[in-house]
Chains A and B, each alone.
Chain A
Amino acid sequence: MKKRIIGALGAAAVSLAALMAPAMADGNLRVAIPANLNTLDAAKTKLGEEYIMNFLVFSGLTEVDGKGGVKPDLAESWAKSDDQKTWTFKLRPGVKFHDGRLLEAEDVKATIQRIQDKATGSTARVNFDIVESIETPDKQTVVFKLKIPYSGFAELFGDRQVRILPRDKFDTVATSPVGTGPFIFKSFTPGDRVELVKNPDYFVAGEPKLDAITLRIMPESAAQIAALETGDIDLVWNLPLESIDQMKKNPDVVVDSTSTSTWDGLIMNAAQKPFDDKRVRKAILMTLDKPALVEVALYGQGTPTHTMIPPSHPYFNKDLPISTPDIEGAKKLLAEAGYPNGFEATLYVPVGRPTRERLGIAAKELLAPIGIKVDLQRVPWDKFVKEIEGKAAFYTDGFFSRPTIDTSIYPFFHSTGSWNTQLWNYKNPEIDKVLDDARAAKTEEERAALYNKFQALAEDDPAGAIPYVLNHVNAYRKNVKGFSSSPMMWLDLRETTIQ
């Protein structure tokens, strides 16, 4: 009995000590993200929140900066054959997975083959349709043979889903991911938080600088902002656009904004009347006031553009002016197309995607002067994906930044593009040729010229209206140093410190 009492007292003392312990270790960066993660399996990720994990826990063969550049990551170098159909990657020697095993060429091969498998359901799969075979002549070398010449192949490995996974851990990667990245996965409490700790064996010496990262899942923006202001968290990822002005007034908080190639668009389905007529699409484009749409839909946090190539990109066509509204010209085009008095159209907008909802509302007003009477319908997301996208004639939609110029454009604009037929059924043989040529282009100048031409063609014969690219905004406390927002909207925290 006495023993038991002493035991109980001991236990009480231990738990009391636990109560007194400081809440957080130093060097732990606490980040607020709005949504729960579906999966931790990089190949299957589809959400911005999941992409954050992909870049903290895993690495790719290469790394892209979102502005057209590509650098080594797990591959220390690569070479392409003259016909751009054979690509050889040399792996960085001595890279260890978090479980201590050495990275081998076989891991790369198995990772890519898994992405190519339809049953995996990776959205990166279509990008690797061009791969004919993968060979691993030795443990440090991977050779890809392609079906077509493809100049942007190295950039594909900087993509979000294309993280190199250990081939013996595919079955458990969704719940306990093991990678080669700067941080090691510790725990995930669904709906609450993800805990990561520093990888002491990270292959870049001196990185990462933080000891740990906590990703807190906080759906309500008022809660995120209160937590940032009181110091409960250090960084809010992807700050809601409507809170930016309020945050800027706080002297303890830094608001950091960068332009991305994430875009919203007014989708016009060329397989359906009246949008099968390019003059109708052009008339609608001519009516839209792009800077005004940036103000209304994004509270000013965006940049008017021609296509999904953002003005910050080296391939942006600077000779082409951003179109200004031309109501008379638009009316004339509509009359030529056989709609002198305009027409009635139903515009579908997805519920829960606020920028696209506001874009729809603004479009309704802007199209009235040329006689297009828009009936606005808000549709729940599930139904939107299943019944509206690719099937309705007129709707607003939007797409996340993609890491390479080819994967940003080809799937949408090429007549055989994987997303084209499920979006707007756009066909333009000239654009097809330009995009195919750009894939095989041998020099930067050649590539830049082709993409400049693409933008001019798309302005003349629009697939839909892409009025702007969005800004990505993060807010963090003053004591967070060495952080800058990424145009790809993921968090690069390798150089970040807390002071």
Chain B
Amino acid sequence: MAIYVIKRLLGIVAILAVMSVLVFAITQVMPGNVANILAGQFADDATIKAIEHKLGLDAPAYVQYWRWAGGVLSGNLGNSIIMERPVGPLIWEAFKSSALLAILAFIMVAVFGILLGVIAAIRQNRFADHAVSLFSYVGVSVPEFFWAIVAIIVFARYLNWLPSGGAGNISQGFWVWASHLVLPVLTLTLTLIAHVSRLTRSSMIETLRSNYVRNARAKGLPEKVIIRRHALRNALLPTITVLAIDVGWLLGNIVVVEAVFSYPGIGRLLLFAIERHDLPLIQAGILLIAAVYCFANLIADLLYAYFNPKIRYGHAES
């Protein structure tokens, strides 16, 4: 088991190293560079050359890459070229804000997705099942920016229950802080919940029809115990895989949700960096997101093994 985890961790490091080269290569072929952005529209070539020289952008690409990689290996993520401030704290602050949104949304998706899926499965083809299906299909088929704007218009503008955007500070009071999270988390949840609830429903229906559930019923076990102990535990396996994939979706959707709700997270920061070709900021942001995704998948695989005794990583006898 430990050996398996170590192997996977090494794999993640390798993936991140390859990613950093890829990201660097992509920024090299994008039209324009950060010097163009700094010099502004219609700058003459001499100005662009002067800025490139000052920033060391006139060095060969491999030298530039190595300069960046060397810094990272010694624990220095560098400075944002545009903002002229260290990347580390900039990314970390934004990441914390986004992580809060993502974790809350993830919990909502997992809890309510599974719950709705189970309800739909137990009430198969009855009203509750159709209601859940309709709700989740509408949620997933309309893009998140639409829901976000609808939420702003309804809850902020007309009802005036919740702020229309921004991030609250805990020093302003718990409610102020929490109220800023409600709409973004709801929007993220709405667009992702269908994956989980649909999958849980179908795998739950399948397990409820299985022989061991029939056996349990024949033994006279109460229905609640059958569902919780026998059916759900087995039905959850595919759901875990989908939840891990949903982490990727979540990271994508969060960019849009942060923009609409003026939420200062990593998605917007990354968009800002990419638009300005600010390489150190782009690299740090993308690597962090890639790392989160890799770890989410690792955890999913480990959970899979935990829930399914048929899968054991490492040696058979351990």
Contact = CB atoms under 8 A, between A and B. Distances in A.
Given A192-B167, A227-B165, A44 B38 contact: yes
Interface string B146-162: 00110011001100100
A105 B59 CA distance: 38
- By DSSP majority rule, is chain B's interface helix, strand, loop, or mixed? helix
B268 interface: yes
Size category of the A interface is 35 or more
B317 interface: no
A114 interface: no
Contacts of A219: 259-260, 262, 268
Given A39-B84, A223-B262, A119 B51 contact: yes
Interface stretch (B168-176, B221-229, B230-238): B168-176
Contacts of B156: 223, 226-227, 230
A369 interface: no
Contact of A191 (B153, B160, B269): B269
Contacts of A217: 262, 264
Contacts of A230: 156-157, 160, 164
Contacts of A223: 152, 156, 164-165, 260-262
Contacts of A220: 148-149, 152, 165, 259-262
Contacts of A418: 42, 44
A118 B50 contact: yes
Contacts of A229: 157
Interface in A25-61: 36, 38-39, 41, 44, 46
B85 interface: yes
A121 B263 CA distance: 30
A2 interface: no
Given A220-B262, A222-B152, A227-B165, A191 B272 contact: yes
Interface stretch (A91-99, A251-259, A378-386): A378-386
B125 interface: no
Interface in A175-231: 175, 189-193, 216-220, 222-227, 229-230
A191 B260 CA distance: 12
B166 A46 contact: no
Size category of the B interface is 35 or more
A190 B90 contact: yes
A119 B258 CA distance: 34
A18 B171 contact: yes
Interface in B29-69: 30-32, 35-44, 46-47, 50-51, 53-54
A63 interface: no
A390 B41 CA distance: 10
Given A21-B173, A219-B262, A419 B42 contact: yes
Interface string B72-103: 00000000001111000010011000000000
A237 B173 CA distance: 28
A21 B171 CA distance: 8
B264 A189 contact: yes
Interface string B126-163: 00000000000000000000001100110011001001
B201 interface: no
Contacts of B172: 21, 23
A119 B57 CA distance: 13
B272 A175 contact: no
B269 A227 contact: no
Contact of A119 (B53, B84, B175): B53
A266 to B, nearest CB: 17
B276 interface: yes
A175 B164 contact: no
A169 B209 CA distance: 74
Contact of B94 (A190, A381, A382): A190
Nearest to B183: A223
Interface in A387-422: 387, 389-390, 418-419, 422
Contacts of A46: 40-41
Contacts of A83: none
A242 interface: no
Contacts of A374: none
A123 interface: yes
Interface string B10-46: 0000000000000000000011100111111111101
A331 B133 CA distance: 62
B40 A218 contact: no
A477 interface: no
A218 B262 contact: yes
Given A19-B174, A118-B46, A123-B40, A232 B83 contact: no
Contacts of A458: none
B54 A226 contact: no
A22 to B, nearest CB: 9
Contacts of B41: 46, 123, 385, 389
* Residue among A20, A118, A189 with most chain B CB within 10 A: A118
A222 B153 contact: yes
A382 B38 contact: no
Contacts of A422: 42, 44
Contacts of A382: 30-32, 275
A81 B265 CA distance: 55
B39 A121 contact: yes
Contact of A189 (B93, B160, B170, B176): B93
Given A218-B165, A226-B153, A385-B36, A23 B176 contact: yes
A174 interface: yes
Contact of A218 (B36, B84, B85, B166): B166
A125 B84 contact: no
A330 interface: no
A488 interface: no
Contacts of A21: 171-173
A423 interface: yes
A239 to B, nearest CB: 15
A191 B265 contact: yes
Interface string A155-180: 00000000000000000001100000
B83 A174 contact: yes
Contacts of B51: 118-119, 121
Interface string A1-32: 00000000000000000111101000000000
B281 to A, nearest CB: 10
Contacts of A218: 165-166, 262
A199 B30 CA distance: 44
Contacts of A385: 32, 36, 41
A75 to B, nearest CB: 27
Contact of B42 (A193, A222, A423): A423
A119 to B, nearest CB: 4
Interface of B: 30-32, 35-44, 46-47, 50-51, 53-54, 82-85, 90, 93-94, 148-149, 152-153, 156-157, 160, 163-167, 170-176, 258-265, 268-269, 272, 275-276
14 contacts: A18-B173, A23-B173, A39-B84, A119-B51, A119-B54, A121-B47, A174-B83, A189-B93, A190-B272, A223-B152, A382-B31, A389-B42, A418-B42, A422-B44
Given A38-B276, A119-B53, A121-B50, 16 more contacts: A19-B174, A20-B173, A21-B173, A121-B38, A121-B39, A123-B39, A125-B47, A218-B262, A219-B260, A219-B268, A222-B164, A222-B260, A223-B261, A227-B163, A229-B157, A385-B41
